Amino acid sequence: EMQGAISKTTGKPYATATICRVLALLKSINKHSYRLMDCPLVADKVSLPKLDNIRTGYLSENQLKDFVRHALEYPDKHTGSFLALLFLTGLRDRELRYLTHESINWEQKTLYISRTKNGRDHIVY
C-alpha cells in the first residue's frame, strides 16, 4: 500500500529505500513497545521490501568533458572549479571543502584526504 502512495513534496511514488527506512523504524518502535508496555508484537509479521540500490547511471567520456568545460566556464570561478574538481577526483563535497594547503603535495601531485565519510584517511593521485 505504501508503494502506491504519492509524495506530497515531489508528486512521485515513494522510493523503496524510503519505505524500508519507515518500516524499519516502525518495527523498532513496536519491538520497544512490546518490551516496555506489553503491547502486541506485530513487527515480526512485516517484511521489508528488497532493495536494488545499484547505481547504473554513468557519464560518457564526452558528457564528462562537456560537464567539466561548462563548469570551468561558469561565471563564478570558485563554484565552477569546485564542481570540476569534484567530478575529476571523485571526492565528496565535504572532503574537498575541508582540504588545506598542507593536504596538497605539489611534487607528488597528490591530495591527502583526512576527513572522509568512513573515517579513514586516503590519498588521491
Percent helix, strand, coil in the chain, to 5, is: 50, 10, 40
Domain extent listing, the chain: 2-45, 60-90, 98-125
Tell me the C-alpha distance between 103 and 113, whole Å.
7
pLDDT at 4: 63
Give 4's contacts (C-beta < 8 A, 6+ positions apart): 13
* Residue 6, strand partner residues: 13
Full pLDDT tens readout for the chain, 125 residues: 565 667 777 778 887 888 888 889 999 999 989 889 988 888 888 888 777 766 777 888 999 999 999 999 999 999 999 999 999 998 999 999 999 999 999 999 999 998 888 888 999 98
pLDDT at 57: 79
pTM (global) more than 0.75: no
3-class DSSP assignment, residue 13: strand
As a dihedral over the C-alpha atoms of residue 83, residue 100, residue 120, residue 54, rounded to 10 degrees, the angle is: 0
